[in-house]
Amino acid sequence: MRTVFTALATLALLATSAAANDRANVLNEAIAATRYWEHVEPLNDGWAFFESDQPDAPAADDDSAVPVTIPHTWNAHDTLAAKQYRRAGAWYRRSLTLTRAETQGRLYLRFKAAGTHAEVYVNGALATTHLGGYTAFVAEISSLVHPGDNTIDVHVSNAEREDLPPLDIDHNIYGGIYRGVQLIRGPTLGLSRLENGGPGVRAISENVTPESATLRVRAVIDNAQPEANNVTLVAELTDAAGRAVSFAQTSLAMEPGRRPITLEMPDVVRPDLWSPSSPSLYTLRVTLWDDRNIVDTVTVDHGFRFYEFDPDEGFSLNGEHVFLKGVNRHQDVYRRGPALEAEDHLRDIRMIKDMGANALRLAHYPQDDVVLALCDRLGLIVWEEIPLVNKITPDEPFAENTLAMLREMITQHAHHPSIVTWGIQNELLIRSQNLVAEKRALMVRLNEAAHEADPTRPTVMAAHGIKGYLEGDLTSVTDLIGYNVYYGWYSETFPDLTRIITEFRDGQPDRPHMISEFGAGSDLRVQRADPKRQDFSEQWQCAMIESYLDQAEEIPWLAGVFYWNMFDFGASHRGDTIPGVNQKGLVTFDRQVKKDAYFLVRSRWSDEPTLYLASPRLTHYEGDAERVFKVYTNLDHAELFHNGHSLGKQSTGFAWTVRLDEGPNTLHVTAPAGAEEHHHGYTVTYTPTKDTE
């Protein structure tokens, strides 16, 4: 027995070590894939934080600063303490020491995000301003720096602005430089770093089949020199083994300024197609040459796939029908807010993937570059969207800022094969049925801008109902429609889903449809043998999910579902059983506990063996001694034992009626999976009442 135990322990240790190596490799690849340019270094340490909303940068001798490391937010704790949290400005400061040689080329600061509007100063001079808290932006600082010590001051504010979405939301608007900062060095003649915060290079494959794929590469050359230069632009696509599969180049005289160039590449023969089960990636390397040497290089990922959303057939990928089994994700974590490291994003994406999901909606805003790179590598189909949620301001500044957010999102993330659709609004009629014409007009502009920036992907909207959206003709604007449905939580009952979703579809039958949100709140402390709507019990959450998944599987035209939400998330205004938290997650806010609902979904979506005896935290029963115990499993059959006695095997349903004994009761379920035997169980206590004695 000891030998077997030791061998098993050794195998477990080896498996753990291999998994850790795999995680490190995936993470390192994803981080490297989001650097894009050759000379990029993180600028995350050595910052000073001044929690002051003064209009001017703090004085040089201001000693009120607190040392911080980026990513950083000032709302990690106050959003949990009260409904009203700090929405104001603050200052960040850092010294940047440069040699004379380092000041000869071009220098840029890239902020991966700052919430929600920022001004960047270098040595007291304004370098750039940026509106929007969820996309990257770049400041060129070449003319503002000098050899020696330089001072970077950044004013960031999350104060509400009527010209900046989101205006009304069910999540926190965190302040701070909550994603990383990069220092980028480039030549005076090179590839542009000033393309809406993105890499400035993109490969487009409009016609893809298993036999061949077209390839077109777009790059922007930036010449800051006073005279024209003869240059050659070279693009090479390599597969995962490093073999070149397509190559093209062009030579031109590059005048001063920026100029977009398009290269028509040779078709790729028999491409390795990207999918959730086989996320094959290629590497596009674009180089710029002068007469003799490489002067600049940009590297981005590329993936080949073809897909279709059909109003009657749902979603297909690479010629095969795929039901989108998705979740939504917010980017914050308990007592940390959105100030996360790449390792945090990897943990989240792996947890989503391990549950069996094949799709992810990034709600309600663009997320970190690394998140998309991880979805590319681990295989998740992505719906990404801008933060146009619930309300608008009906004027041109608001519209222009929203359009800018859309263009930045697409420019920065269009090279990711995991993304299949761009979202342009969420529940714009939920707060008010007013301004419908203005809301539709803005949607039309956003839809047109999305197709102009990316003709290869459809657009999508998320509605909370159908009547107002149909009457206002909002449902005809986007290519796809998602519905946020909570029947059985906020109103009505579970069985209403099929009827109501069908009514929605009948109103706009020429569009493909998805369920973009559904969910119920739960609290690990709330356990009910007789759950009720909005009681926040794990049992009600599971009952709702089970009903929704059962119904969704029987709707042939439905492209997919996205559960709301994968993780509990911050919502300071909420006063539920855990104040300040939206509790609809399948996993707790701190990522420490997978709720019962996680295992329910995993048993429905994952191919990996799953066996889970439901309600392990419901440890005490009173009243009726006969109770039904459910098992969530994807195995062929399972056997339940009560106090060591078999209650029989089941191959469907997986629900046993158990007559509990007074006092402790041990429940244990087993199921074979190949050569392995899976187990799960726990002990409950039963106390008869006077009526049942």
- Looking at 304-413, list the stretches that DSSP marks H as alpha helix, in order from N- to C-terminal side: 342-354, 369-378, 396-413
Distant-in-sequence, close-in-space partners of 110: CB < 8 Å, separation ≥ 6: 40, 136, 137, 138, 181, 182, 184, 193, 197
Q: Are 632 and 603 in contact (CB under 8 A)?
A: yes
- The neighbour count for residue 234, using CB atoms within 10 Å, is 19
Q: What b/e string do you get for 132-149 counting C-beta neighbours within 10 Å, with b at 16 or more?
A: bbbbbbbbbbbebbeeee
Residue 92, both tokens? 């960040």
Residue 408, both tokens? 């930045």
Indicate which residue of 408, 427, 517, 538 is catalytic.
Answer: 427
> In whole angstroms, what is the distance from residue 371 CA to residue 366 CA?
10
- Residue 645 CA, chain-centre distance (Å), reads 46
Report strand pairing: 189-191 vs 212-223. Answer: antiparallel
Q: Are 511 and 543 in contact (CB under 8 A)?
A: no
> In whole angstroms, what is the distance from residue 598 CA to residue 605 CA?
10
Give 239: exposed, middle or buried? Use CB within 10 Å, 0-12, 13-18, 19+: middle
SS3 state at 603: helix
CA distance readout (Å), 570 to 51, 112, 179, 267, 670: 22, 21, 18, 47, 38
Q: Are 467 and 521 in contact (CB under 8 A)?
A: no
Distant-in-sequence, close-in-space partners of 531: CB < 8 Å, separation ≥ 6: 537, 539, 540, 543
Task: Give which of 518, 519, 533 is closest to 484, Cα–Cα.
Answer: 518
Which amino acid makes up residue 277? Answer: S
Beta bridge mates, 189: 223
427 flagged as catalytic = yes
Task: Give which of 459, 374, 479, 461 is closest to 416, Cα–Cα.
Answer: 374
> In whole angstroms, what is the distance from residue 182 CA to residue 374 CA?
20
> In whole angstroms, what is the distance from residue 631 CA to residue 476 CA?
43
Q: Are 629 and 637 in contact (CB under 8 A)?
A: no
Give 668: exposed, middle or buried? Use CB within 10 Å, 0-12, 13-18, 19+: middle
Can you count the helices (H) and strands (E) in the chain?
10, 39
Distant-in-sequence, close-in-space partners of 499: CB < 8 Å, separation ≥ 6: none
Crossing angle for the helix pair 369-378 and 2-33, to the nearest 10 degrees: 130
DSSP symbols for 390-428: S----SHHHHHHHHHHHHHHHHHHTT-TTEEEEEEEE-T
Task: Give which of 284, 228, 268 is closest to 251, Cα–Cα.
Answer: 228
Report strand pairing: 294-302 vs 282-289. Answer: antiparallel
> In whole angstroms, what is the distance from residue 598 CA to residue 606 CA?
11
Task: Give which of 412, 474, 415 is closest to 440, Cα–Cα.
Answer: 474
Cis amide leading into 166 (omega within 30)? yes
Catalogue the active-site residues. Answer: 427
